[in-house]
Structure 1
Amino acid sequence: MHAGTDNYTYLTTAPIRRVIPTMAIPTIISMLVTALYNMADTFFVGKLDTQSTAAVGVVFSMMFFVQACGFFFGHGSGNYISRELGARRHDNAARMATTGFCFSVMAGAVITLMGWLLLDPLSLLLGATPTILPHTRQYLGIILFGAPFLTGSLTLNNQLRLQGNASFAMVGIVTGAILNVGLDPLFIFVCHWGVAGAALATVTGQVVSFLILFLMTRRGENIAIRFRLFSPSWSAFKEIFFGGSPSLCRQGLLCLATMMLNHAAGNYGDAAIAAMSIVNRITMMVMAVVIGLGQGFQPLCGFCFGARLIPRLKRAYWFTIAVGTVFLIICTVFGWLLSDHLIGIFRDDAEVIAIGIVALRWQISTLPLNSFIMTSNMLTQTCRKPVAANLLASARSGLFFVPLILILPHFFGLMGVEMCQAVSDFCSFTLSVPVMAHTLKHLQQ
C-alpha cells in the first residue's frame, strides 16, 4: 500500500489526498461488507414471508448493541494505540491492544449468556409482535452465539485500522461476509432451515472473521495479541472509556432508536416494520461508505494529534467532509429516482413497497448533512475530546431521534415514523456546527 515507508512517516508526511483514500478504501470495503451481514439475511429471508423479514429487522437492533460493545473496546483501545504510536511509545500501545481485545471478548460472552437466559422478554423488548415472535426467538437464539466473536472481530478490526493497516483488517471482515452471503441460500433454501439458516450463516461468517483477524495481528507491522500483556487496570479502562464511549453511545443509541422505531412502526402492521427494516438496510449501506471514509481519516488524525501536527489534521478533516458530501449528494439523487426498485429488491409486497418508498425518500433527503456530522464525531473521538464526542455521537440516534419518534407519529401518523430520521439528521447538523467551531479553535490553541 505504501511500500518502503513506515506508517508513522506515511501518515504524518504523505499528501492528504493520497493518504485518506489509501486508508479509507479498505475500510469502506470492510464497512460495506459488515453491512452486508444483515443485508444478505434481509434479502434471502425476504423470499420467505413478511413475518420472517420483520423478525430479522427486529433482531437488527440487538446487532447494533453487540456492535456497540465491539466498537467501544475497538475504538477505545485503537484511538489510544494510534496516539501512542504517533508519540513513539510502542510498549504502551502493545499492552492496550491485548487488554482491549480481552475485555471485548469477555463482554461478548456476557451478552450471549444474558441473552439466552432472557430470550423471550428480550424478543418482545426489541419490538416483536405476537405474529413475529416465533421467528424472532429462533433467529435471535442463534445470533447470540456469535456475540463474543463479533465483539472480538470488531475490536481487532479497529485496532488494525487505527495502526494504519486497514488492508489487513479488510481481509478478515470481507472473508467472513462472503462466506455468510454464500451460506445464506444454502442454509435457507437447500437445507430448508428458513430463518434459522440465515442466523447460522451469519454466525459462521463471524467466527471465520474472528479467526482470520486474530492471525492478521501477527502479520507485518501489526501489534500482535499476546495474552501475557493483558493488563487490566483503572487507567487502561479509563483510556478505553474516553476513546470508546462515543462509539458505545452512538451504537447503543442506534439500538434504542431501532427498537423504538420497530414499536412505532408496529402500530401500523407487520408491513410497516418490514418496510422500515429494508429502508434502514439501504441507508446503512450508503452510510457505511461515509463512515468508512471517516475511519480512513482517523489513523491520520490520531498520528498527527500525537505528533502535534494540527494544521495537517485540520486540512485532512475538511478534505474528508468534502469527499463524503459529494458522494452523499449523488446517492440522494439516485435513491430518490430509484426508490421503488430499491425497496422491491428485498420484498415484492405492494404494501411494503408503498411504505418503503416514502420512508426512503424522507431519509435520503438529509443524507448529505451526515458527512459533516460523522467526520466531526470521529475527530473529537480520536483527539480525546470526550464531552464533544459523546454529545455528537448521541445526537443523531438519541438526543433528537428518541423524542421525535415519540412526538411525530402522534401528529403525523405513519408519516411521522417515516420522516423521523430526516428531522433528527437536520437537528444533529445544526448542533454539530457550533460544537466543531469551538473544537477546532481549541485544537489550534
Structure 2
Amino acid sequence: MAVSAEDLGTQDIKILLMKQAIPASVGILFMSVNILIDTIFVGQWIGSLAIAAVTVVLPITFFISSLGMAIGVGGGSVLSRALGGNNKEKALLTFANQIMMTFFMASLFVILGIFFSEEMLELFGAKGAIVAPATEFFFPIIFSVPFLALCMMGNNIIRAEGKAKFAMYAMIIPAFVNILLDIVFIKIMNLGMTGAALATSISYVMCFLFVLWFFMNKSELKLELRHFKFNFPIIKEITELSFVTFSRQGVISILSIILNHTLYTYGGEHSIAVYGIISRMLMFALFPVLGITQGFIPIAGYNFGAKNYDRVKESIQISIKYAALFAAVIFVFILFFAKPIVSVFTTDIKVIEETPNALRWVFAASPIIAIQLIGAAYFQAAGKAKKALFLTLSKQGFFLIPLVLILPNFFGIFGVWISFPIADVLSTVITGYFLKKEMNTKLNNTSDGSIL
C-alpha cells in the first residue's frame, strides 16, 4: 500500500485514492470508535448527565491540546521542507522548538485551567446538575492534557517523516487502552466519572509513551541537548503556518460554548446530553468521508505542484463522487436506524425520545457535504491558504454560529438542530462556487470543469 512521490503523478487516481484514504480512514475510525464507546459506557454505566458532563469538558481539553496539533501541522511543513532541502540541522532545530513550544504552552493553559476551573467549566456550559459530574471529570483529565498535546504534535511529525503506519498506531493504541480501562474503572471498580477521567488520562499517557518510543527508536530525527534552544525565526515560521489549524479549532471551541449554553437555555441538561450523542455520531459515521478527504490532499497537492491540472481535476471529481456516495449511504442508515442507535448510548427515556429526530436533522444535508470538504481541501493542497481558511471556517464560523444564536429565538430547541443542515447547504454552495470557478479557469485545460 506504500505510495511514492512518482506514483502520485502517474498511478491511476482511483487506486491512489484508495491507498491514501484507507489508512487515514482506519486512523479516524479507531479514534471515533474510542470516543463513541467511551460515551456509550459513560451513558449506560453512569447516566445521561455524565454524557452532558463529558460534552462540556472535552472541548476544553481538545482546545488546549489543539495547540499541539497546530504546532505539529505548522512545524511539520517547515520540517518537511528542511528535510527536502537536505537541511537536517534546521529540521532538528524545528522539531526541538516544536516540543518546547507545545510543552510550555499546553502547561500554561493547564495551570490557568486549574486556577480558573469554575469559570472555565461555566464558560463551556457546565450549569445546574451538570456541574458536579463535569468537575469530577475535569480535574483528573486536565493533568494529562500536555501528554495529549505532545502526542498530537508528534503524530504530525511522524507523518512528515513519511511513517504513516506508525502515525496510525499512535491513534489506535489509546483507543484500546481507554476502552479497556473504562471497563475496569467504571464497570468493575465503580469509580464513576473519576474512573472515566482516569481511563482517558492514562490512554493519553500511553499514546505519549508510544510516540516517545518511536522518536527514540524509529525516527530519523535524533535530537541532542544542543537543539533545545529557542530559535525565534523558526518559532515565527511555525507560528505563522500553525494559525489556520488553531483558528479552526478556536472556532470549534467557540461553537461548543455557544451550543452548550443555547441547549441548556432551551432544553436543559438532557439537551446537552442529546448533542453529546450527536457529536460523537458525526465523527464516527462520517469517518470514510473524512478519510477520503485526507487521502485526496497529497494527490491533489503533488499534481498541482507538477502543473498536472487534468489529474488534479480528475482527483477532485472522483473524490467528491466517492465521498458523496458514502455520505448518502450514511444518511439513509441514520434516517432509518436513528432510534436503535440512540438506545445504545443511554436508558434515559427523555434523551431517547428527543435524540432520533435531532440526529436526523443534523445529518439531513450530509449527502452534499463532500463538495464542501473536498473543495476546502483542494485549496489547502494547492497552497491557497486564505481561501482554504475561509472555506474551512465557513460552516461553523460564518453560518452555524449565527444560526444557533438566531433560530432558537423563533423555533426553540428545534432551531438548534435545523441550524446544522442550513449551515451545510450554505457552506456547500459557497465552496461549490469557488471550486467550479477554479476548475473552469486554473484547472480548465481540456474538460468542462464540472464538479461532479
Report the TM-score, using the length of structure 2 for normalisation.
Answer: 0.89
Indicate conservation of the 8 Å contact 2:361/2:421, yes or no.
yes
Q: Are 2:121 and 1:120 aligned?
A: no
Using the TM superposition, name which of 249-258 and 284-293 deviates more. Answer: 284-293
Q: Against the structure 1 CA distance between its residues 374 and 95, is the aligned structure 2 distance closer, same or farther, given a 3 Å change threshold?
A: farther
Q: Are 2:18 and 1:41 aligned?
A: no
Secondary structure, in 3 states, of the residue corresponding to 1:192? coil
1:303-314, aligned counterparts within 5 Å? 303-304=302-303, 309-314=308-313
Indicate conservation of the 8 Å contact 2:21/2:293, yes or no.
yes
Q: Against the structure 1 CA distance between its residues 289 and 68, is the aligned structure 2 distance closer, same or farther, given a 3 Å change threshold?
A: farther
Q: Against the structure 1 CA distance between its residues 392 and 222, is the aligned structure 2 distance closer, same or farther, given a 3 Å change threshold?
A: farther
Secondary structure, in 3 states, of the residue corresponding to 1:46? helix
Match of 1:359 in 2: 358
Q: Against the structure 1 CA distance between its residues 198 and 129, is the aligned structure 2 distance closer, same or farther, given a 3 Å change threshold?
A: same
Match of 1:406 in 2: 405
Q: For 2:32, give the aligned amino acid.
A: A
Per-residue CA shift, 1:272-291, capped at 9, x if unaligned?
11111101111121233322
Q: Against the structure 1 CA distance between its residues 422 and 319, is the aligned structure 2 distance closer, same or farther, given a 3 Å change threshold?
A: same
Q: Against the structure 1 CA distance between its residues 295 and 85, is the aligned structure 2 distance closer, same or farther, given a 3 Å change threshold?
A: farther
Q: For 2:189, give the aligned amino acid.
A: C
Using the TM superposition, name which of 18-27 and 321-330 deviates more. Answer: 18-27
Q: For 2:121, give the aligned amino acid.
A: S
Give the superposition deviation at 1:442: 4.9
Give the superposition deviation at 1:28: 1.6
Using the TM superposition, name which of 383-392 and 184-193 deviates more. Answer: 383-392
Q: For 1:177, give the aligned amino acid.
A: A
Q: Are 2:7 and 1:16 aligned?
A: no
Output the CA distance in 1 between the equivalents of 2:402 and 2:370.
23
Using the TM superposition, name which of 61-70 and 393-402 deviates more. Answer: 61-70
Secondary structure, in 3 states, of the residue corresponding to 1:338? helix
Report the TM-score, using the length of structure 1 for normalisation.
Answer: 0.90
1:30-429, aligned counterparts within 5 Å? 30-47=27-44, 48-82=46-80, 92-217=90-215, 223=221, 228-229=226-227, 232-267=230-265, 268-304=267-303, 309-429=308-428
Output the CA distance in 2 between the equivalents of 1:418 and 1:280.
12
Give the superposition deviation at 1:46: 0.5
Identity %: 28
Q: For 1:337, give the aligned amino acid.
A: F
Unaligned segments of structure 1, at least 5 residues: none
Indicate conservation of the 8 Å contact 1:373/1:428, yes or no.
yes
Q: Against the structure 1 CA distance between its residues 193 and 258, is the aligned structure 2 distance closer, same or farther, given a 3 Å change threshold?
A: same
Match of 1:28 in 2: 25
Secondary structure, in 3 states, of the residue corresponding to 1:384? coil
Indicate conservation of the 8 Å contact 1:108/1:151, yes or no.
yes
Indicate conservation of the 8 Å contact 1:8/1:85, yes or no.
no
Give the superposition deviation at 1:87: 6.7
Q: For 2:171, give the aligned amino acid.
A: I
Q: Against the structure 1 CA distance between its residues 434 and 234, is the aligned structure 2 distance closer, same or farther, given a 3 Å change threshold?
A: farther
Output the CA distance in 2 between the equivalents of 1:309 and 1:106.
43
Q: Against the structure 1 CA distance between its residues 421 and 388, is the aligned structure 2 distance closer, same or farther, given a 3 Å change threshold?
A: same
Indicate conservation of the 8 Å contact 2:47/2:348, yes or no.
no
CA-based RMSD of the aligned residues comes to: 2.7
Q: For 1:254, give the aligned amino acid.
A: I
- Largest Rg, 1 or 2: 2
Output the CA distance in 2 between the equivalents of 1:226 and 1:176.
28
Give the superposition deviation at 1:416: 0.4
Output the CA distance in 2 between the equivalents of 1:25 and 1:324.
13
Give the superposition deviation at 1:220: 5.9
Match of 2:449 in 1: none
Output the CA distance in 1 between the equivalents of 2:6 and 2:161.
12
Per-residue CA shift, 1:312-333, capped at 9, x if unaligned?
4443333322221111111001
Output the CA distance in 2 between the equivalents of 1:224 and 1:292.
31
Output the CA distance in 1 between the equivalents of 2:234 and 2:304.
20
Secondary structure, in 3 states, of the residue corresponding to 1:127? coil
Indicate conservation of the 8 Å contact 2:73/2:242, yes or no.
yes
Indicate conservation of the 8 Å contact 1:83/1:305, yes or no.
no
Indicate conservation of the 8 Å contact 1:81/1:96, yes or no.
yes
Q: Against the structure 1 CA distance between its residues 12 and 320, is the aligned structure 2 distance closer, same or farther, given a 3 Å change threshold?
A: same
Indicate conservation of the 8 Å contact 2:52/2:272, yes or no.
yes
Output the CA distance in 1 between the equivalents of 2:428 and 2:115.
40
Output the CA distance in 2 between the equivalents of 1:203 and 1:336.
35
Output the CA distance in 2 between the equivalents of 1:324 and 1:330.
10
Indicate conservation of the 8 Å contact 2:97/2:231, yes or no.
no
